[in-house]
Each structure stands twice: as C-alpha cells, then as structure tokens.
Structure 1
Amino acid sequence: MSKSTRSPWGRLSVAVVTLVVAAPLAACGSGAAETTTSDGTPKITVLRSNGALFEPLYIAQQQGYFKDAGLDVTIKTGAQDTSQNAPSVLNGEAQFAMTDSSGFLKGAAKNMPIRIATGLVSATTKTEPTDGLLVKKGSSITSFSDLEGKTVGLSALGGTIQFIVEYLVEKDGGDPSKVKFVSLPTTSLNDAAGSGKTDAVYSFGAFYAAGKQAGLTSIGSGMNDLPGITQGVLFASEKYLSANPGTAKKFIDAVAKALTYADAHPDAVRAVDKKYTQLSADYIEKAPATYYDKDVNTTVMRTVITKMHDYGLLTSEPKDSAIYWDKAPTVTSGS
C-alpha cells in the first residue's frame, strides 16, 4: 500500500500545540515589546495546550514561583487548531506558548523567528508508557516491522505520532514507506483497531489506557522507545527573547522550579488535571505519573530532524541556531 498524503500539520501524542502557519505570518508583528503592570512588574501571557503537560504552569502560579520571580503571569488556553499560537507569539499577544517536537520543527523549517526557551516533558524509560501502538487481540502484528503493507489509524497525519511510528518501523528493520496512515477522530481510534477498520492505531493518554483495558494489545513502549524525544516545550519569538533576556530567564527558571515540584508531588499534578481537563477523576487517579524535565536533548532532536526530513515530514532540516534560545536548558545524549 502507498503512504497517504502528508498533512501539513502535526500533533503531539497528548494533543499538545502545533505550529504550522504560512511563512509571511512569521514576518509580521513585533512581539518584542515588554508590558508591565502599574507598579512596573513585567507581564507575561503564556498559551498552554488543550490537552496535557501544562500542569507545571499552574503549579508555578499556585506555589508563588512566578510572583517570587517578580512576574505577573497569565495562563491562557491556546487555540484548538494551534496554528494560531505562533502568530500570537510573534505579534506580542502572548510571550510564550507550548508545542511539541514536530510542531516546533515545522515552524523552524519555514524559517519562522521562534526559539525553544525550555523543555517541559521528554520521553523517558523512568515512567510507564502513556502512548503506543494498539492492535486487536490475536493480531498477526507483533512488532513494528509487521506494519509493512498495513493501515495505521492516527489522530492526525504528519506530526510526532506519525514520525514515531515510521521511526520504530525502520528501527525494527521494516520499510516505513510501505505503511499507510489514515486520520481518525481520537475517540474512534480504539474502535477502529478492535473492529478491524484499521490494522492498528496509535493512541495516547486516557484513550491508550482505555484501549488496553478494552482488550487491545500494546506493541512496544511508544515514545519511550526513543528516550529523550521532546514531547512538550515552551517557545517564544526570537525578538522577545533578545529584547527581554532577563525577564525570559526569570520565567523559565520559575517554570523549572515547578517541574521539580510536580515530579515530587504527583497529587498536585492530579489536582490541576481535575480542574483543567475533561478527563474523569477516576482515570486521573489511576493514570501513570508524568515525569517532567526542563532539559531538551539536542542529540535526539537532531535525530528527529533528520528522520522527519527523510520521511517527508519536514521541508528542510533547520540548524540548531534556528531552534534554541541561547539560554535554553539543553543537553546532549550521555551528558
């Protein structure tokens, strides 16, 4: 079977923001000016995802980390179709916003003047998988290489989820170009696998857990099979970061404190989820804890860039200088 047409936008495994906009949008607006309260406190607006991984932002607010840093921070929900988030950052309506690897890289590949300021979450073997490939019980698919000639249902085409499937097929010795991908509503993925509408699906979060509970078989360990792949970051415009490095550093340092707090206090994370997500309280209590990490692994990111370009998911391979703020917490594999 031939591969389906690539969608021009992607999506994180937990519905984190994407950043696909036309290149001209990147050139408009200023996005550099800093606004303050009447007493001179810098004001920051941050656009969070609609899905998850935003919990540390609220924790930083609740624990007073933003206030202690001398910042007035407003957290807003980004657009459901978050192609609108990048223009909001570039024109100054917001100073920071969330995205994932593919979402950011698609913008960087279009030469958009945006930079990663800090990481939030990366895949790690320290936690149980919260996403992965699901097949019906008794399926002949027992490994990713078995997906050759098969159809895989995804919540969206062209993004991080499609990338990880293709990467794991290739890693397992298969040919990713022989896998067909179809886009389905997230709520329909498990039914598609169970009914045979698709040979497999890639699900995540509550839907992944529900699929396993319903008897579907999980193959591999999802994104944890590529430890270090960035699943959530905060980005800002290059102009804003250059014009306001002190304020930006205070902001990401406060977020870093919240990430550490969130890792040590999973109940605080669950409390945020109960308030700001539509997931059931029962699922939230039973779901595996997320491991938050400020560091962005540039070695793994380069692998993602190279492979996404190989798979036709990126139009070009952006250089590191077009990806990271010079004060962003970055690491290399093995460091």
Structure 2
Amino acid sequence: MNFIWQKLLVVGMVLAALLAVAGCGNTSPSSSGSGEEGKNEKVIIGQSSWIGFAPLYIAEEKGFFKEHGADVEIQSIESKTDSKTALAADRIQGVSTDMSTQVMNAAAGIDLVQILALDTSAGGDGIVAKKEYNTIEDLKGKKIALDTTGGADYFWFQYLLQQKGMTLKDFDVQNMSAGDAGAAFVAGKVDAAITWQPWLSKAEKTDFGHTLIDSNANPGVIVDTFAMKKSYIKEHPQAAKAIVAGWYEALEYMKTNNDDAIAIIAKRVGEKPESVKDELNDVKFYDKVGNEKYFGTSDTKGDFYKVTALAAKLWKDLGLIDKEIDANSIIDGSFLNAQ
C-alpha cells in the first residue's frame, strides 16, 4: 500500500514539474509580445486634407514611424472643432493644425505642446477679389467671405488688418468656412474671400476675379504645427520622437522618390498627381534645419515664439479666448534632434 502511494506521489511531482515548465513557456511569449508593443506604441493623430500635412501620409505609408518606434494611424478630421474635441477626449493623441488654432486649443484647457513645425504657407492662402479691387482698403464696405471662428486664414487676415489700422467692422463680413468662402466668390456671391487653394486658382480662372494678395507676402505667419498633450508625451516620449523622425524621413523621401511620394499623397487626398504637384508649390516644409531655425535656441528664441505670442495676444484682444497663453508653455523643441 505504501509502495502504491509512493508511486502516486512521484507521478504527482512529475506532473507538477511539467505544468510549471509549461506555465513558464506560456509566460515568455506574452512578455515578449508586450515588449514589442512597447517598441511600437499605437498613436492616433488627427489632421485635415491640407497639403501641408501630406508628408505625414508618406511616413505612415512607408513605415517610417514604425522604424522609429511608433505605430501611427492618421485619422482624417476636417473640422477644427472636431479635432479639438477628439484631442480633449483622448480619442487622438496628436493633432496637425495651424499654430493659431493650437493657441485656441490651449486656451480651451487642453494642456498641449507643439513639438514640430510642419509647413508655412507660401502662396497657398490668399484674398481673392473682383478685379476692380486692388488693395484691402478698396474692399472697405464690401461683402467679403471668411471663417471668423479662428484658424490660419482668419489670423492672417487680422494680422494684415492690424498693419493697416483696420478692423472687421470696415467690411460686410459673411461668416463661412474657407472652402465655402472660395466657392461663394467663384459663384459671384461676394466681392472678395479669404480662402486657400485650390480656390485661389479657381478664382483666377474666372473672368472677374484675381488674387489680391497671398501668403507669400508674409512668410512664417501662417504656420502649421504638430502638437500632443503634455501628459501623453511624458508617458510616451518615444512616440513623440518617432513622429518627428518620421517627418524628417518623409521629407527626404519626397526628394529622392518624388513620383512615388506624389502618388501616395494623391491617393490619400483623392486628387490627381498633377494637382498635388501644383499644390505643393504653395507650401514650404520645415525640415530639421528649418525647424531648428524657426524654434531657435534657449538663449535666442526663434520666430516661432514671436508669432505664437502674436496669435495669443490677437485672439485675447478679439475676445476669441479668455485666457492668456504664454508661448513658452506651448512650445517644446527638445524633440527636434530625433533620429
């Protein structure tokens, strides 16, 4: 009887040992998988179809983000309000939009920081007007269409008006989105519109319209940036580095593989390659050198700080925000050397 129990005891010990080994085997792949996920953190970023954000599509398509440690998914969000809501609710972790909108988002209570300058408008935004009007002063009392809820074009127009000592009260303002403003002008419903491409080109093709002034006149004022929540960056610094490095790599790819880059962009924005090529002429992208110059150094701050401070003051003066925003609190150049 004792012999039988001894045999059972031995068998039990063997089974226990086998189970322990099996358990260790099951734990190892799980840990390994977790480590792989850590190397490629899932990040969702929001952006509109504006051509200035196009290199991000290339970085996603060619796997540049993943190479640097982040699994980035670009989500199409055309509305500034929708992207702000998504960022506030953590449905997205980053957003590409114009600098003045980033200021408004920060004033709305989103603790964000801009870590990368993407592009500056170089003719992609402008004022189209009937041919009999040749200056902004000529438009006084006329019906003009623009988006008065904020954004790049509104900021730029207010910037121009300040230089001339004028205000919106000098015009018959029709509030609508920048795209709708361009369409309204082409349809002959307004005397002028503050809009962007492709509406500038469409206005030029009418027999009554022309571009009164475009953003080439004020380089560095209409600037698009990429921002993330500070709390997210603190927990996932590698994701921030990966996005910056992926952006740089995408810009290089556009130089060395232009046809493929154009094809990728065209597919993502739903346009013909030739149209994309034309639109790319209206923006200037910030590469690493451009970013370093625009951000400046801790001792000598670049124009980024000046323009951001200008936007913060302008929005506060106009009553569009009720909180003062310090440019230093929403700009972080520590990721610019990401590789």
After TM superposition, the score normalised by the length of structure 2 is: 0.73
**Alpha-carbon offset, residue 145 of structure 1:** 2.5
Residue 18 of structure 2 is matched in structure 1 by none
Q: Is the 8 A contact 2:130 2:210 kept in 1?
A: yes
Residue number among 137, 144, 149 corresponding to 2:141 in the alignment: 149
* 1:1-335 mapped onto 2 (5 Å cutoff): 38=37, 40-78=39-77, 80-123=78-121, 127=122, 129-137=123-131, 139=132, 141-155=133-147, 157-184=149-176, 189-190=181-182, 192-193=184-185, 197-215=189-207, 216-221=209-214, 223-262=215-254, 266-289=258-281, 290-293=283-286, 295=291, 296=294, 297-325=304-332, 327=334, 329=336
Q: Deviations over 1:269-314 (max 9, x none)?
A: 5323320123344533443523211525222222222233333333
Change (3 A) 1:220 1:88: closer
User: Number of residue pairs matched?
Assistant: 288
What is the identity, as a one-letter code, of the residue corresponding to 1:160? A
**Alpha-carbon offset, residue 212 of structure 1:** 0.9
**Alpha-carbon offset, residue 265 of structure 1:** 5.5
Change (3 A) 1:45 1:219: same
Large movers: runs of 4+ above 6 Å: none
CA–CA distance in structure 1, aligned partners of residues 92 and 184 of structure 2: 38
More displaced, 316-325 or 85-94? Answer: 85-94
What is the identity, as a one-letter code, of the residue corresponding to 2:204? K
CA–CA distance in structure 2, aligned partners of residues 39 and 303 of structure 1: 39
Q: Is the 8 A contact 2:152 2:222 kept in 1?
A: no
After TM superposition, the score normalised by the length of structure 1 is: 0.74
CA–CA distance in structure 1, aligned partners of residues 335 and 314 of structure 2: 23
| Structure 1 unaligned residues grouped into runs of 5+ | 1-34, 331-335
CA–CA distance in structure 2, aligned partners of residues 191 and 161 of structure 1: 15
User: If each structure's helix is expressed as a fraction of its own residues, which one has the higher value?
Assistant: 2
Q: Is the 8 A contact 2:80 2:101 kept in 1?
A: no
| Structure 2 unaligned residues grouped into runs of 5+ | 1-33, 295-303
Secondary structure in 2 matching 1:57: helix
Secondary structure in 1 matching 2:51: coil
Secondary structure in 2 matching 1:99: strand
What is the identity, as a one-letter code, of the residue corresponding to 1:135? A
What is the identity, as a one-letter code, of the residue corresponding to 1:220? I
Change (3 A) 1:266 1:103: farther
More displaced, 259-268 or 163-172? Answer: 259-268
CA–CA distance in structure 2, aligned partners of residues 188 and 321 of structure 1: 35
Q: Is the 8 A contact 1:117 1:328 kept in 2?
A: yes
What is the identity, as a one-letter code, of the residue corresponding to 2:306? T
Change (3 A) 1:269 1:144: farther
